[in-house]
Amino acid sequence: MFVRSGRQGCRGNYRVSRCPSRGGSEVKTSDRISSAFAAGREASRPLVVPFITAGYPTTTATVPIVTALAAAGSDMIEIGMPFSDPLADGPTIQHASEVALGNGMTVRKTLETVREIRASGTDTALILMGYCNPVYAYGIDAFIKDAVQVGVDGLIIADMPPEEAGEFLVGCSATGLSLTFLVAPNAPDDRVRKVDGASTHFSYCVTVTGVTGARSAIESRTVEFLQRMRKLSTKPFVVGFGIKKPEHLITLGPHADGVVVGSAIIDAIESVGGADAVVVDAASAVSTLVAPLCAAARQLAMTAQPDESRDRRET
Domain membership flag for residue 24: no
The pLDDT confidence band at residue 301, using thresholds 50, 70 and 90, is confident
Residue 311 lies in a domain: no
Catalytic residue among 89, 153, 167, 196: 89
Higher pLDDT, 183 or 12: 183
Residue 16 CB partners (closer than 8 Å, separation 6+): 3, 5, 145, 148, 149, 175
Does any domain span residue 9? no
Is residue 19 in a domain? no
> How many C-alpha atoms does 255 have within 13 Å on its Cβ side?
22
- List the domain range (segments joined by +) for residue 231: 29-302
Among residues 169, 158, 93, 154, which one has the least CA distance to residue 124?
154
Residue of 75, 78, 141, 153 with catalytic role: 78
Burial 37-61 (b: 16+ CB within 10 A, else e): beebbeebbbbbbbbbbbbbbbbeb
Instruction: State yes or no: is 163 an active-site residue.
Output: no
Is residue 263 situated within a structural domain?
yes
Model confidence at 218, in pLDDT bands (50, 70, 90)? Answer: low
Q: What is the C-alpha separation between 266 and 51, in angstroms, rounded?
A: 8
Residue 115 located in a structural domain = yes
Write the pLDDT tens digit of every residue in 73-109: 999 999 999 998 877 777 888 899 999 999 999 999 9
CATH code where residue 66 lies:
3.20.20.70
Domains identified in the chain, total number: 1
CA distance 313 to 236: 6
pLDDT-derived band at 181 (thresholds 50, 70, 90) equals very high
What pLDDT is stored for residue 299 in this prediction? Answer: 82
Average pLDDT, the chain: 84
Per the domain annotation, does 5 fall within a domain? no
Active site residue 141: no
Give the model confidence (pLDDT) of 140-165 as tens digits. Answer: 999 999 999 999 999 999 999 999 99
Give residue-wise pLDDT tens across range 18-46.
554 444 445 555 689 999 999 999 999 99
pLDDT of residue 24: 46
Confidence of residue 296 (pLDDT cuts 50, 70, 90): confident
Query: Is 13 part of a structural domain of the chain?
Result: no
